[in-house]
């Protein structure tokens, strides 16, 4: 198993090295979006099996939530590579948005402790 402390840049590079060995290259952005939707559905199914009310059938393959999230990361890296943007930059932009827009949306733990809750 590879180093599990990979940066998003490392992930994108590894995915690109994998995809680059095939003549077909990256799928179109629309096809990748469809694939991401498919993987999202598979993740939802696994979460429903593990945490919901729908147990797996005896004939169903044993997948894990972790495996499905990994598949989604792979497809997101394919999308970012095919559109030539950096996932690290995307994540940074998203975190800045959450850290400013939503900074007072929920009760912070230290505020709760001050109020005796």
pLDDT digits (tens, 9 = 90+) for 38-51: 999 999 999 998 89
Which pLDDT score is estimated for 100?
Answer: 93
Which pLDDT score is estimated for 57?
Answer: 83
pLDDT digits (tens, 9 = 90+) for 2-44: 557 999 999 999 999 999 999 999 999 999 999 999 999 999 9
Alpha-carbon gap, residue 17 to 19, rounded angstroms: 6
Q: How far is CA 116 from CA 59, 105, 110, 112, in A?
A: 51, 20, 10, 6
């Amino acid at each position: 198993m590879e180093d599990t402390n990979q940066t998003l840049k490392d992930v994108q590079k590894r995915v690109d090295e994998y995809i680059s060995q095939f003549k077909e290259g990256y799928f179109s952005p629309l096809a990748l979006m469809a694939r991401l939707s498919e993987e999202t559905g598979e993740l939802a199914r696994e979460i429903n099996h593990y945490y919901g009310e729908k147990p797996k059938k005896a004939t169903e393959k044993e997948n894990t939530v972790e495996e499905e999230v990994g598949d989604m990361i792979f497809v997101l890296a394919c999308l970012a590579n095919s559109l030539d943007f950096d996932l690290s930059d995307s994540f940074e932009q998203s975190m800045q948005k959450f850290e400013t827009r939503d900074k007072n949306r929920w009760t912070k733990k230290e505020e709760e402790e001050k109020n005796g809750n």
